[in-house]
Amino acid sequence: MAGRKPQLKLGAFLSVPGNHLAGWRHPDAVPDCDMDFAWYMRLAQMAERHLYDTIFFQDTVAVAGSDALKAGDRTRTRLSRIVKLEPTATLAALAVGTSRIGLVATATTTFNEPYNIARRFATIDHISKGRCGWNLVTSQIEDEAGNFGLDTHVDHALRYERAIEFYEVVSGLWDSWAEDAFLRDKESGVWFDPDRMRFLDHKGKHFACRGPLNVPRTPQGRPIVAQAGSSEPGKELAARTADVVFTAQTELQAAQEFYADVKGRTYRYGRTPDDIKIMPGITPVLGRTMAEAQEKYDQLQSLLPDEVALAALARFTRGVDIFSYPLHGPMPELPEANSAKSRQKLIMDMARKGNLSLIQTARAVSAAQGHRVLVGTPDYIADELEEWLRKGGADGFNVICNYYPGPFQDFSEMVIPELQRRGIFRTEYEGTTLRENLGLRAPPSVWT
Amino acid sequence: MAGRKPQLKLGAFLSVPGNHLAGWRHPDAVPDCDMDFAWYMRLAQMAERHLYDTIFFQDTVAVAGSDALKAGDRTRTRLSRIVKLEPTATLAALAVGTSRIGLVATATTTFNEPYNIARRFATIDHISKGRCGWNLVTSQIEDEAGNFGLDTHVDHALRYERAIEFYEVVSGLWDSWAEDAFLRDKESGVWFDPDRMRFLDHKGKHFACRGPLNVPRTPQGRPIVAQAGSSEPGKELAARTADVVFTAQTELQAAQEFYADVKGRTYRYGRTPDDIKIMPGITPVLGRTMAEAQEKYDQLQSLLPDEVALAALARFTRGVDIFSYPLHGPMPELPEANSAKSRQKLIMDMARKGNLSLIQTARAVSAAQGHRVLVGTPDYIADELEEWLRKGGADGFNVICNYYPGPFQDFSEMVIPELQRRGIFRTEYEGTTLRENLGLRAPPSVWT
């Protein structure tokens, strides 16, 4: 059982076939696991066996880099993560082969209708008996706009305005029914109590939605809401709506500031800091010795051609043709972006602080797309995680692996037992719902 | 193995807790199976054990009757099928516990984006290894419009125009990749061949969509497309796009005309009659004797209050206040409707031919919502199905049950063995994909 120490939360960010852009080329990698559902199930069950709070799928509603492809850039043909299983269908399927782990998937507020999203996630919460989470995002990449009738991408501020209203509609729809609304009484023939049903009658700038939702109140009250934006409006939206915040943080001090900032904003919305779990991403590279770990990291990096690294960096450098700059010269300054603002800032900070050249920056980004890479022994990595937990840098971590299944198995079998020995990670699930396992209180409800 | 006789196709239309509006009140019914995924799985596995071609879920993106509810009509609180699991998430989950049966769900073209629909159904086809189908509909009920920002429902003709273009985008996206597009070659580091990828670059009246889809070509080539519209534009759309047509037919002659009509139109689109399987709905009520079957039917009808029957009928009679007409007087004439046109005509024909009063019409509609009710012995029902198959009225049937699981089990255990004895239904699955089991040829592809 959990002791009195603060407890780490762990998410398994399943970025198949691997988050490192050359991860799929590793001799032990399984390149086609991106489309093989049996692998998704195997990884989800492995995560459950090791007591992760949740698995997590990011999402893009496009072939990433398709604009560059269209312009004839064949480097893109060397990037994996071009296709994948759609995350909500995948979550629903994974609910059947698992029983305790949380199931979180991303769905964009930019190219969906709130009624459809409210309904699908509520359904997965019912199918999984209270283990579902929705990662609310605004769409980041220009490629996506072209699949939804738009020539250019929706403006950053407008996307957040829409996201806030989207959330209001979705969370309102999740309150359509009181828990006891359905009588299903054969004798009297009464199916439900209309006084325990609510029309939403939302009329806003972006949406009008009458409701009620055609799904009852869910086992968790409502699905968990996750957020990943780290820009100003992103943090504000998180403070207002999120149960869980995913973020990219590479330095403890910046992580502490982000942590305090987001948690501090919760009061504005009648919430408290405990209502949000902040989970930066980490990419572990494990060895029995520090040297062995570093060797593993170097091996992966050796599989990454320079032009692929540059193509990866180019995703975050719109407005600047980085290919025209000298490889070993300094990282060029970037104009303010409309998408992935905070990730862009993180990359620039990393380049400046490490005094990295263009190609060094590109190769670092390719390794973990801006997330923190932890190269070392199980003890070293456990030390780092514990320090961030104790010092207010994180409530937990989202574990992102360079390829699957090896590094995921390494972290699960080598680091998790060490975290358990230190008394900062569970040895059994606390509850049956994701909300219970995350230690979150019941959501607000119009019915109580 | 199948003999030389024409083979019946069978779909299990899972309308939980029961398609009969008082079905849930039957002593053996399970009223809360509408939200209990374990029951969905049990029924799907039962259908697979009995070799049905497919299970099928209809859909409504609203609480049906919510406009009447809003107006204070408490009769609606006596209707079941108010809430349900969202069908695409449900399909994905059912893929995990089944291995051979087809999985078909409805998704509307009226309130979705084609990229999202193409992607989700393609994903379910991958998860199920080629067993997925999309029932393409235009939304029928006014209740739905209010959940998507519209005050009134989209005009019937415009809905079909949008549906046709929606299909073009979806089927185009399903052709984004050749089967051999993904090399995933660790040695060379090449992930895919850009010459085996296609941008759709669709620009139409309702949609613009660049593509490509971020899901590879699916195990069946592409998911099966089902259609259920029976109006003029509905039949035209079916002839152009459908692999399977669901329809409500109560008389052999009308069924034959519909069958010949839809199949005849296929030539206009470079298709042949064999490319479409036409499957009317049937609701079986089984007894060891005709009298026992009739008794069962009467028992169900006795559970149905008049006002519930009228409320059910009212769904198809917009523009006429049927509650103001005498119960035992004739069925009033109806003005032309904007939605569910063909169903409305079917109901009026049924009332006229049977010389039914208003309440008799309402009670008949409540029993099967316009579908054919077959009350009798296994032999009698098998005779009827065989006759329609032999005489060009149907290629198969969609079995719709008054409640679950009893009547579904009765049909599966009493009628299916009789169909097998007659050599008109399989004794084992012919293939592993839905397309193979339906006996359909490979879909057209830009890559062959």
pLDDT digits (tens, 9 = 90+) for A12-26: 999 999 999 999 999
Mean pLDDT for all residues in chain A: 93
For A88, which residue in chain B has the nearest alpha carbon? B89
- Selected for mutation to probe chain B from A81, A147, A218, A300 (highest B CB count within 10 Å) is A147
**Contact in structure between A103 and A300 (CB atoms under 8 Å):** no
C-alpha span between A398 and A283 (Å, rounded): 9
- Selected for mutation to probe chain A from B25, B86, B113, B300 (highest A CB count within 10 Å) is B86
Task: List the single residue in B22, B31, B92 with the smallest CB-CB distance to A93.
Answer: B92
Q: Tell me the pLDDT band of A1, cut-offs 50, 70 and 90.
A: very low
* Chain-centre distance for alpha carbon A78: 24
pLDDT higher at A175 or A138: A175
Q: List all residues of chain A from 128 to 167 with a beta carbon under 8 Å from chain B.
A: 146-150
- Residue B134 burial by Cβ neighbours in a 10 Å radius (0-12, 13-18, 19+): buried
Tell whether the model's pLDDT for residue B10 goes beyond 80: yes
Query: Which range among A151-160, A274-283, B432-441 shows the weakest confidence by mean pLDDT?
Result: A151-160
**Contact in structure between A192 and B77 (CB atoms under 8 Å):** yes
C-alpha span between B40 and A126 (Å, rounded): 12
A99 secondary structure, DSSP code: S
A357 secondary structure, DSSP code: B
Q: Tell me the pLDDT band of B2, cut-offs 50, 70 and 90.
A: very low
pLDDT tens for A306-329 read 988 998 888 788 778 888 999 999
Tell whether the model's pLDDT for residue B337 goes beyond 80: no
Domain segments of chain B as ranges? 9-438
- Selected for mutation to probe chain B from A83, A88, A113 (highest B CB count within 10 Å) is A83
C-alpha span between A439 and A395 (Å, rounded): 11
What average pLDDT does this structure show over A106-123? 97
pLDDT tens for B55-104 read 999 999 999 888 888 888 888 898 889 999 999 999 999 999 999 999 99
| Dihedrals phi, psi of A70, to nearest 5 degrees | -60, -35
What average pLDDT does this structure show over B122-149? 92
Are residues A27 and B93, on separate chains, in Cβ contact within 8 Å?
no
A385, containing H or E segment: helix A378-390
Query: Which range among A242-251, B152-161, B249-258 shows the weakest confidence by mean pLDDT?
Result: B152-161
A148 secondary structure, DSSP code: G
Are residues A123 and B90, on separate chains, in Cβ contact within 8 Å?
yes
C-alpha span between A355 and A388 (Å, rounded): 25
| Dihedrals phi, psi of A406, to nearest 5 degrees | -45, -65
* Chain-centre distance for alpha carbon A163: 16
Are residues A215 and B84, on separate chains, in Cβ contact within 8 Å?
yes
Q: Tell me the pLDDT band of A340, cut-offs 50, 70 and 90.
A: low
C-alpha span between A411 and B167 (Å, rounded): 45
**Contact in structure between A403 and A304 (CB atoms under 8 Å):** no
| Dihedrals phi, psi of A12, to nearest 5 degrees | -105, 105
| Dihedrals phi, psi of B366, to nearest 5 degrees | -65, -30
pLDDT tens for A255-274 read 999 999 999 999 999 999 99
pLDDT tens for A35-44 read 999 999 999 9
Buried-exposed string B220-237: b where 16+ CB fall within 10 A, e elsewhere: bbbbbbbbbbbbebbbbb
C-alpha span between A23 and A304 (Å, rounded): 9
3-state secondary structure chain B: CCCCCCCCEEEEECCCCCCCCCHHHCCCCCHHHHCCHHHHHHHHHHHHHCCCCEEEECCCCCCCCHHHHHCCCHHHHHCCCCCCCCHHHHHHHHHHHCCCCEEEEEEECCCCCHHHHHHHHHHHHHHCCCCEEEEEECCCCHHHHHHHCCCCCCCHHHHHHHHHHHHHHHHHHCCCECCCCEEEECCCCEEECHHHECCCCEECCCCEECCCCCCCCECCECCEEEECCCCHHHHHHHHHHCCEEEECCCCHHHHHHHHHHHHHHHHHHCCCHHHCEEEEEEEEEECCCHHHHHHHHHHHHHCCCHHHHHHHHHCCCCCCCHHHCCCCCECCCCCCCCCCHHHHHHHHHHHHHCCCEHHHHHHHHHHHCCCEEEEECHHHHHHHHHHHHHCCCCCEEEEECCCCCHHHHHHHHHHHHHHHHCCCCCCCCCCCCHHHHHCCCCCCCCCC
C-alpha span between B133 and B226 (Å, rounded): 7
CA-nearest of B52, B41, B39, B63 to B13 is B52
pLDDT tens for B354-389 read 899 999 999 988 888 889 999 999 999 999 999 999
Please check whether residue B68 touches A, CB under 8 A. Answer: no
Pairing mode, strands A182-185 and A190-192:
antiparallel
A333, containing H or E segment: none
Please check whether residue B115 touches A, CB under 8 A. Answer: yes
Are residues B84 and A199, on separate chains, in Cβ contact within 8 Å?
no
pLDDT tens for A185-232 read 999 999 999 999 999 999 999 999 999 999 999 999 999 999 997 888
Query: What residues are paired with A218 via a beta bridge?
Result: A221
pLDDT tens for B104-124 read 999 999 999 999 999 999 999
Q: Which residues of B touch A63 (CB under 8 A)?
A: 197, 211-214
Tell whether the model's pLDDT for residue A3 goes beyond 60: no
Task: List the single residue in B83, B184, B207 with the smallest CB-CB distance to A32.
Answer: B184
Tell whether the model's pLDDT for residue B339 goes beyond 70: no
pLDDT number for residue B98: 98
Tokens matching residue B419: 């169909």
What average pLDDT does this structure show over A127-151? 90
Gyration radius from chain B CA atoms: 22
CA-nearest of B336, B339, B334, B361 to B350 is B361
* Chain-centre distance for alpha carbon A199: 32
Tokens matching residue A429: 């699930």
pLDDT number for residue B338: 63
Are residues B184 and A24, on separate chains, in Cβ contact within 8 Å?
yes
Task: List the single residue in B22, B85, B95 with the smallest CB-CB distance to A93.
Answer: B95
Q: What angle do CA B198, B203, B208 make, to 5 degrees?
A: 85
- Residue B294 to chain A, least CA–CA distance (Å): 22
The residue whose two tokens read 């034959």 is B256
Tokens matching residue B448: 């062959």
Contacts of A397 (CB under 8 A, 6+ apart): A8, A9, A10, A11, A279, A280, A281, A282, A385, A388
Q: Where are the beta strands (DSSP E) in A102-223?
A: 102-108, 132-137, 182-185, 190-192, 202-203, 208-209
For B192, which residue in chain A has the nearest alpha carbon? A77
- Residue B82 burial by Cβ neighbours in a 10 Å radius (0-12, 13-18, 19+): buried
**Contact in structure between A261 and A235 (CB atoms under 8 Å):** yes
Task: Kindly report the length of chain B.
Answer: 448
- Judged by DSSP in three states, A104 sits in strand
Contacts of B143 (CB under 8 A, 6+ apart): B60, B62, B63, B64, B65, B66, B67
Are residues B78 and A120, on separate chains, in Cβ contact within 8 Å?
no
* Chain-centre distance for alpha carbon A445: 26
C-alpha span between B429 and B432 (Å, rounded): 7
pLDDT tens for A283-300 read 999 999 999 999 999 999
Tell whether the model's pLDDT for residue B350 goes beyond 90: no
Mean pLDDT for all residues in chain B: 93
Contacts of A421 (CB under 8 A, 6+ apart): none
Tokens matching residue A389: 């937990």
- Selected for mutation to probe chain B from A123, A152, A304 (highest B CB count within 10 Å) is A123
**Contact in structure between A116 and B111 (CB atoms under 8 Å):** yes
Q: List all residues of chain A from 297 to 316 with a beta carbon under 8 Å from chain B.
A: 303, 305, 308
Q: Tell me the pLDDT band of A369, cut-offs 50, 70 and 90.
A: confident
Share of chain B above pLDDT 90, in %: 78
CA-nearest of B36, B268, B246 to B136 is B246
For A182, which residue in chain B has the nearest alpha carbon? B32
pLDDT number for residue A354: 87
3-state secondary structure B407-436: HHHHHHHHHHHHHHHCCCCCCCCCCCCHHH
Q: What angle do CA A329, A65, A399 make, to 5 degrees?
A: 80
Residue B278 to residues B49, B227, B262, Cα–Cα distance (Å)? 23, 10, 9
pLDDT tens for B21-62 read 999 999 999 999 999 999 999 999 999 999 999 999 999 999
Q: List all residues of chain B from 69 to 108 with a beta carbon under 8 Å from chain A.
A: 69-70, 74, 76-80, 82-86, 88-93, 95-97
For B110, which residue in chain A has the nearest alpha carbon? A113
pLDDT number for residue B44: 98
Q: Considering the domain delimited by A9-438, tell me its CATH architecture.
A: Alpha-Beta Barrel (3.20)
pLDDT higher at B313 or A373: A373
- Judged by DSSP in three states, A196 sits in helix
Query: Which range among A162-176, A262-276, B137-151, B213-227 shows the weakest confidence by mean pLDDT?
Result: B137-151
pLDDT number for residue A152: 67
Are residues B149 and A209, on separate chains, in Cβ contact within 8 Å?
yes
pLDDT number for residue B73: 83
Q: List all residues of chain A from 426 to 445 with a beta carbon under 8 Å from chain B.
A: none
